Structure 1
């Protein structure tokens, strides 16, 4: 019988990758919590209409990348290609949109897009998302960017760049779109890529984001949004940049930066890395005022971001994964029962600990402790078993100490040392 293999573009994650995912999620909970955000869990499967109405029917995501299928009653369902639409649906359906003046929410989970798998881009990928709903002030935009930046610093990712732009609002965008369409139509049609030939008519703004060299050259002299937005949008954007200056976050204003989804307006931003090849964006987001109302809720503004966890994983230092505090090496079978109780006592005191279920040589035990990147190795040989003690070897400093474990207070003292 042939073996069953995983689907192309989907991945299994074992340690250390799965540990790194947990580390990122726990760090996000810690950092986002300092900014007043609360975790929301939404379904992976939604009605197709939700994404068509929010993302935009002419976007690449909706037209080419969604996993869409009918259920047994013929209803069209879609595996979520992004998180914001589902958050908006839950926000409206739960009554939160009318019950609270503003809401700060974050989510984790898998997303699904049918596209060619490559480094940093899978058909099932994972995102960390944050959404702030109900607030319009420029300092809120800067705070969202700052929270993203602090999270990325907290997980230890170096050499990142922040690009930022304004996309204008519902009032001033139409004038820019008219100018842009006129410019795009004036360029030789035969030089555009196949996608941009369609986008020119269906979604002109997305032409500015094309990565094909020929198309990039064609839009070099295209109108810039920042030159055409209304005075109110210019003032809003200027205040966002001033707030970022005040808190010391560096940025580059990129007049060609647009987002791939239709709901974005005003502030938009992207964090990139030069260390992961062509797919350089590791996080991005922006303001989406009007999206809640577009999906049947009240007219509440919003701003948020998404981080691709697989891309973050490619940049995460090896030290970012959690390390066990202790590896207990038992050198004599007679010590296993006592070692087991000591290990459990340490775990109850908040120490992460592992042990070998069978005795091995000191060399083999130390090799395993190093493989696990343990901070300490606790050794129990015949002498330690007889005296109810352990040798504690600090694997980082190379120092060694003896500790009695004959009483609860002894184990308390050992746990304090290991913390």
Structure 2
């Protein structure tokens, strides 16, 4: 698998351009013409909104929000809403494209969508966050809906925020609409397994990747960069499976112990924003943590953590991307040349959107599945999707990222062609 050798030099911080580059390579490999790339390189719709919110002190603060809808040739668009001070329009555009790819890889009847609000919920009160959430829904209400565009949780958003958004949308439409949004509490039409779905999908990919390397999860040393929703659930799942979690990190730094960390202790002391290292004195930087010795490295935090500057220092046999865009294209090439198996984000982290799809299906039919059924269906889809991507990578002599993009764009491109768009 050596097709990465012709990757172009890409600015490490420009996630959108990096994504577009791989999409172009994937479409070229599949034999699609240039107009298909022109259609897919940007979202079909991008909305920017300004949301006035009355703060607890009586002042009015104006927040900027975004909603991108990448491509709806296959079906309604689908994707999370993040609350973060670093949200940008360009980031939201890129993330909507990734959601299209995830839907294609998992064979879901969706295109990609994504939303975000520039804010810091860590500095806001409970009621301020509620008012912001409801204001965002009012601002985008004309372009979203259960058959148009279905939001979900993302960075610093959760089931409570989804509940507020669903309630606001239902009030506006004057009928209850649980299928408008996923990631809801169970009592409001949520699905079993949704909260841990991303981590469950990553765990399945780790198991399958380990098999390809002649390894087992049990006894493997794992470093997880990020201890938020995905990272914390993942640490628990891997610990329970017999892996030795030797490193974890949060925004403040990382903890590393080659003999294994006390995961139950860390989970018990983790706060709602995923921070725990502030309780310890001997803390590594995030940069230092991902270079520590392990069998499996899982970047589960933010973009651009493995770059051309540190890829040669990665000391793992397998890298599984639980975060969006943690490895740059240049770093992907280096890891591939070093025979490190990289499972890309658009495959590894697709468990979340898959169980969101299950939730949407249950909302539409009004019949809800037990947790065991959800897990069985997720296991089947994740395992099949991993095998499809791995088989294509081997067959076409390309890396796993390019193979995943090839799987992800094919259905969307063919649907666009049948509709007469291209």
Band the TM-score falls in, shorter-chain normalisation: under 0.3
Q: TM-score, normalised by structure 2?
A: 0.23
Q: TM-score, normalised by structure 1?
A: 0.23
Q: Which has the higher contact order (CA 8 A, sep 6+)?
A: 2
Q: Which has the higher helix share?
A: 2
